[in-house]
Amino acid sequence: MMKDLEALFTPAVTEVFTMMLNYPVVEVKMGANDAIPKNGELQLASAVGFVGEFTGVVYLHVGVGLARKFTCRLLHMTEQEAESDEIVNDAMGEIANMVIGYIKSRLCESGITCAITIPSIVRGSHFTIEPVGIDARRVFLLQCDDGQFWAEALAKEDKSK
């Protein structure tokens, strides 16, 4: 099922960024076990989980500066207007929600039933996500005009299937 997610992830990001932000994003190929680079910049990780036949979580890791740019594009705001952390958190949570919602809909269409969770946000400069009981992990590097950001998909497959 991780393969399904892998196939759906980039189209999902492209769709959301094109439709909602009018901002082209492309995937940059990288190794399966590459780590997310830490450059010390304050990071924002927005997470939405899957629960059901496919259980897992997807994190979007974006530098705070780039997250603010995404927020401005999404809400047609200036950087001054999007100054509050709250609004940036909310916008990034909603972007993650739409990306995962897109994937979830396609999974459901192919018979994999699952629900998605409410988005959650983590902010920090030096944090690592160390999941427990995860069967598969995949990292996606994404490139847009204003910089790069990362997505990390963690999945636990339903062994009863």
| Per-position x/- string for 118-137, each x denoting binding to another protein as judged by CB under 8 A, each - no binding | xx------------------
Shortest distance (Å) from residue 126 CB to another protein: 27
Separation CA 151–CA 71 (nearest Å):
17
Residue 113 found at the interface with another protein (CB under 8 A): yes
User: Is residue 62 helix, strand or coil?
Assistant: strand
The number of angstroms, rounded, from the C-alpha of 8 to the middle of its chain's C-alpha atoms is 12
Which residues touch 117 (CB under 8 Å, ≥6 apart)?
Answer: 48, 49, 50, 51
* Number of alpha carbons in the 13 Å side-chain half-sphere of residue 129: 27
Does 15 engage in binding with another protein (CB under 8 A)? yes
Nearer to another protein (CB atom), residue 101 or residue 131: 101
Question: Which residues are at the interface with another protein (CB under 8 A)?
Answer: 15-16, 19-20, 71, 74-76, 86-87, 90-91, 93-94, 97-98, 100-102, 104-105, 108-109, 113, 115-119
